[in-house]
Amino acid sequence: MLDTSVRLACAGEQQRVLADGVRAAWQRCLEPAAEPDVTLTLSLDPDPDANPGPDSRPDLAVADLDLLLHRLSPLVTVRAIDHQAGRLLMLHAAGVADPSTGRTVALVAPSGTGKTTAARALCRTLGYVTDETLAVREDGSIAVYPKPLSVLETAGDPHKAQLSPDDLDLVPAPPACTLAGVAVLDRDDSERAWVEDVPLLTALARLAPESSYLSRLPKPLHRLAGAVELAGGLKVVHYADREQLLDLVDDMLTAS
Amino acid sequence: MTSTVTYTPAEWDDWFVDGDESAVLVGGQVIVLSALATAVVDSTVRRLDVAALTDEVVRRFGAPPDDDPEAATRAVLEELVEAGILRRDA
């Protein structure tokens, strides 16, 4: 995931419960054991001060599994992004892919403004690439990040549940994904969905704040401009509901 | 301000030119530059002095209707200094 191997070392009195919970939520990110780029130590224990090992303090020590998973997701994201600084172009975007061709549209939106909702709605038919960080390699291919989705299951819950894309029946992303479109989401009350084309320089100004570690890339604006041009330019999609968004994304996926 | 003041590019992260216009990434922010500002930045990259830059700007964009051309050029240069795109070297 995100071209980064993250090892999650589970500890604590409820180590097995923790390992099973992590494995279930992060099912689509599991990879054969390899030399990790990032290691995080997690402890699930009624005593949050329990020490999991002689040399380490846990990165996360919590008594409740749901709370641990809730905190784990942003921690993994941040550490993986840190690891890829200066290598991958990373946009705050959901990614949805054509399951047969791998052509992928990045749906850009600031945190809390619809990425997860859009990914859930669209990935009943399109491949789920990510709902958080869409990472583009220099050649335009995508480093997928099919993380658990944060979902508020019941109003009033203290934190969102972390659900595997399998739990939500989301279509898997195909093995090779490439960038085919970049769109900023603007959900409004429009009766008719419409697409706004954004000039290239304005696109750079609009996307830079929705990226991570852009300045760390070599020739960062050139890299961002290359991705935008590969995607056929930045678009703002104005839509009111899932069906409208699906039609617009389908158009982007089939555009030459 | 004396004629010995010179302007040079500040330490930006990247400068991307698209046709006559451009964008600069400085301090984590992208600033889009007009054709005039792009020409001014380009002149500082080529190390033109203010007088030569003014001649070039007047040739490309015409003289300002209500202002001394060199004063107008210096105003643009100062705006670019303010934005962190150029540095003023006394």
The whole-angstrom separation of Cα A128 and Cα A170 is 6
* Mutation site, B11, B30, B33, B85, interface A, largest A CB count within 10 A: B30
Q: Which residue does chain B place closest to A219, by CA atoms?
A: B14
The conformation of residue A99, written as its DSSP 8-state character, comes to: T
Burial, A13: exposed, middle or buried (Cβ in 10 Å; 0-12, 13-18, 19+)?
Answer: middle
Give the minimum alpha-carbon distance from B54 to chain A in angstroms, rounded to a whole number: 26
Q: Which residues make Cβ contacts (< 8 Å) with residue A50, sequence separation at least 6? A: A12, A13, A43, A61
Q: Which residue has the higher pLDDT, B50 or A49?
A: B50
Q: Which residues make Cβ contacts (< 8 Å) with residue A176, sequence separation at least 6? A: A102, A141
Token couple for A154? 């019941």
B18 with A220: Cβ contact below 8 A: no
The one-letter amino acid at A244: Q
What is the reported pLDDT for A111?
Answer: 76
The one-letter amino acid at A193: A
The whole-angstrom separation of Cα A251 and Cα A192 is 15
pLDDT band at residue A32 using 50, 70 and 90 as cut-offs: confident
Expressed in angstroms, the distance from the first to the final Cα of chain B is 9
The whole-angstrom separation of Cα A110 and Cα A129 is 17
The whole-angstrom separation of Cα B40 and Cα B33 is 10
Say which of B18, B25, B31 has its CB closest to residue A220: B25
Q: Which residue does chain A place closest to B20, by CA atoms?
A: A201
The whole-angstrom separation of Cα B49 and Cα B43 is 8
- List the 56-75 stretch of A: residues with Cβ below 8 A of B: none
What is the reported pLDDT for A77?
Answer: 96
Q: What is the pairing mode between strands A127-130 and A171-172? A: parallel
Express each pLDDT in B8-51 by its tens digit: 999 999 999 999 999 999 999 999 999 999 999 999 998 888 99
Express each pLDDT in B57-72 by its tens digit: 999 999 888 889 999 9
Q: Is the pLDDT of residue A24 over 60?
A: yes
Say which of A214, A215, A225 has its CB closest to residue B16: A225
Say which of B18, B22, B30 has its CB closest to residue A208: B30
- Which phi and psi (to 5°) does residue A39 adopt? -125, 130
What is the reported pLDDT for A256?
Answer: 63
Q: Which residue has the higher pLDDT, A86 or A56?
A: A86
Percent of residues in chain A assigned helix, strand, coil, to nearest 5: 30, 30, 40
Q: Is the pLDDT of residue A54 over 60?
A: no
pLDDT band at residue A159 using 50, 70 and 90 as cut-offs: confident
Q: Which residue has the tokens 């191997």?
A: A5
Average pLDDT over residues A23-51: 87
The whole-angstrom separation of Cα B13 and Cα A67 is 39
Mean pLDDT of chain A: 91
The whole-angstrom separation of Cα A204 and Cα A229 is 11
Expressed in angstroms, the distance from the first to the final Cα of chain A is 28
pLDDT band at residue B3 using 50, 70 and 90 as cut-offs: low
Task: For chain B, say whether A143 makes contact (Cβ under 8 Å).
Answer: no
Give A-chain residues touching B32 at CB under 8 angstroms. 201-202, 204-205
How many residues make up chain A in this entry?
A: 256
Q: Could you tell me the CA-to-CA distances from A25 to A66, A77, A140, A165, B5 in Å, in that order? A: 10, 14, 28, 8, 62
pLDDT band at residue B84 using 50, 70 and 90 as cut-offs: very high
Give the minimum alpha-carbon distance from B83 to chain A in angstroms, rounded to a whole number: 15
Say which of B14, B29, B32 has its CB closest to residue A201: B32
A208 with B14: Cβ contact below 8 A: no
pLDDT band at residue B2 using 50, 70 and 90 as cut-offs: very low
Q: Which residues make Cβ contacts (< 8 Å) with residue A110, sequence separation at least 6? A: A92, A210
The conformation of residue A191, written as its DSSP 8-state character, comes to: S
Q: Model ipTM?
A: 0.90
Token couple for A155? 């109003």
Give yes or no for a contact between B13 and A215, defined as CB atoms under 8 angstroms apart. yes
Give yes or no for a contact between A79 and A73, defined as CB atoms under 8 angstroms apart. no
Highest mean pLDDT among A109-123, A170-184, B54-68 belongs to: A170-184
pLDDT band at residue B1 using 50, 70 and 90 as cut-offs: very low
Give B-chain residues touching A203 at CB under 8 angstroms. none
Give the predicted TM-score (pTM) of the model: 0.90
What is the reported pLDDT for A53?
Answer: 60
Task: For chain B, say whether A202 makes contact (Cβ under 8 Å).
Answer: yes
Q: Which residue has the higher pLDDT, A113 or B44?
A: B44
Give yes or no for a contact between A92 and A185, defined as CB atoms under 8 angstroms apart. no
Q: Is the pLDDT of residue A92 over 90?
A: yes
B13 with A208: Cβ contact below 8 A: no
Nearest to B50 by CA among B22, B24, B78, B23: B78
Q: Is the pLDDT of residue B7 over 80?
A: yes
The runs of H, that is alpha helices, within chain A are 15-25, 65-84, 115-122, 200-207, 220-230, 242-254
Give A-chain residues touching B13 at CB under 8 angstroms. 214-215, 220-221
pLDDT band at residue A242 using 50, 70 and 90 as cut-offs: confident
Average pLDDT over residues B67-78: 91
